[in-house]
Amino acid sequence: MSVPVLELRDVTFRRDGREILRGIDLTVRAGEHWAMLGPNGAGKSTVLGFCGALAHPTSGTVEVLGRRLGRVELQALRRDIGHVNPRHPIRGEESVRDVVFTGLTGTIERPIRWQPTPEQAAEADELIAEVGLTARRDAVWPTMSQGERGRALIARALIAHPRLMLLDEPTTGLDVAAREQLLETIDDLAHSAPEVASILVTHHLEELPESTTHALVIAHGAVVAAGPADEVVTTEIISHAFEHPITVTKEDGRWSARAVRERRTAGAR
């Protein structure tokens, strides 16, 4: 069994006297691809913040890449974590290549005086090709579609050679075609970077990649279930977490969910 990349033990978090999370346990190992599921307000983003070394828990322990939060400099740790967030705050005329290079500098925009080495430039172009953006390599951020931006951010994360990749609702705002292209890119990571562990946050089962191996379901700040995806992403567990009867199915490696409608009796209005 591989060494854990991420460990949360009995994690609790309170804000303004209100308990946001309680008793969260999670172990992620190299090469595993986790989905974090739950309704809005369940605490998914808070858990992801601990995974990304962006915040400390109120109690419990968080170890990321073998380093415990509270005993390590967070900025240094974050450089070893790939973070894909569709709300990445780029506002300038950055090209796809520039965006990917910022994965090396750890900045939002490419520093004015910074120049990549020939090896770094070649690797950036290879990653841009892997995510299917070679023809758009010099396109600037304002002209790119949301799907293209998502794929560029995946290349940005990978160029830093992370051991852990965090994907925060990466298909937000995408149409069906763009969503499927992005999910194909994520699935390809299981082959091109087999040692990288990942956690993808969503509340839509249709947005889970085929490469998903494990799932964590949370509701009201607590774990409902965690483990192999086929054992966790089930009708019973998802219905319980979302507090609504939902039928979960899986076909050709992809999940889908549909609410169960109550049948009206004859004559009912």
Report yes or no on 40 lying in a domain.
yes
Residues 117 and 234 in one domain: no
Last residue of one domain, picked from the residues 111, 126, 161: 161
H or E element that contains 52? none
Residues 52 and 154 in one domain: no
HSE-CB at 224 with a 13 A cutoff on CA atoms is: 25
238-252 residue pLDDT tens: 999 999 999 999 999
Which residues, 6+ apart, have CB-to-CB distance to 159 below 8 Å?
Answer: 100, 101, 103, 104, 120, 123, 124, 127
Last residue of one domain, picked from the residues 107, 136, 161: 161
Residues 52 and 184 in one domain: yes
45-99 residue pLDDT tens: 999 999 999 889 999 999 999 999 988 888 778 888 998 988 888 877 899 999 9
For residue 179, give its domain range: 1-80+162-269
Report yes or no on 125 lying in a domain.
yes
Report yes or no on 145 lying in a domain.
yes
Residues 13 and 132 in one domain: no
Encode the chain (269 residues) as per-residue pLDDT tens digits. Answer: 678 999 999 999 999 889 999 999 999 999 999 999 999 989 999 999 999 998 899 999 999 999 999 888 887 788 889 989 888 888 778 999 999 999 888 888 888 888 999 999 999 999 999 899 999 999 999 999 988 999 999 999 999 899 999 999 988 888 899 899 989 999 998 888 899 999 999 989 999 999 999 999 999 999 999 999 999 999 999 999 999 999 999 999 999 999 987 665 555 55
Cα separation of 235 and 258, whole Å? Answer: 10
Residues 255 and 176 in one domain: yes
Report yes or no on 87 lying in a domain.
no
Residues 253 and 124 in one domain: no
Residues 182 and 259 in one domain: yes
Assign 150 to helix, strand or coil: helix
Cα separation of 168 and 205, whole Å? Answer: 14
Report yes or no on 86 lying in a domain.
no
Last residue of one domain, picked from the residues 133, 161, 189: 161
Query: In the beta sheet, which residues pair with residue 33?
Result: 198
Residues 240 and 188 in one domain: yes
Query: In the beta sheet, which residues pair with residue 84?
Result: 167
Residues 153 and 172 in one domain: no
Quote the number of domains for the chain. Answer: 2
Residues 53 and 175 in one domain: yes
Report which residue type is found at 120: Q
Nearest one of 28, 24, 30 to 10, comparing CA atoms: 24
Residue 159 per-residue DSSP state: T
Residues 5 and 136 in one domain: no
Dihedral (Cα; 44, 46, 47, 49), 10-degree rounding = 120
Which residues, 6+ apart, have CB-to-CB distance to 20 below 8 Å?
Answer: 13, 14, 43, 46, 221
Report yes or no on 16 lying in a domain.
yes
Residues 171 and 157 in one domain: no
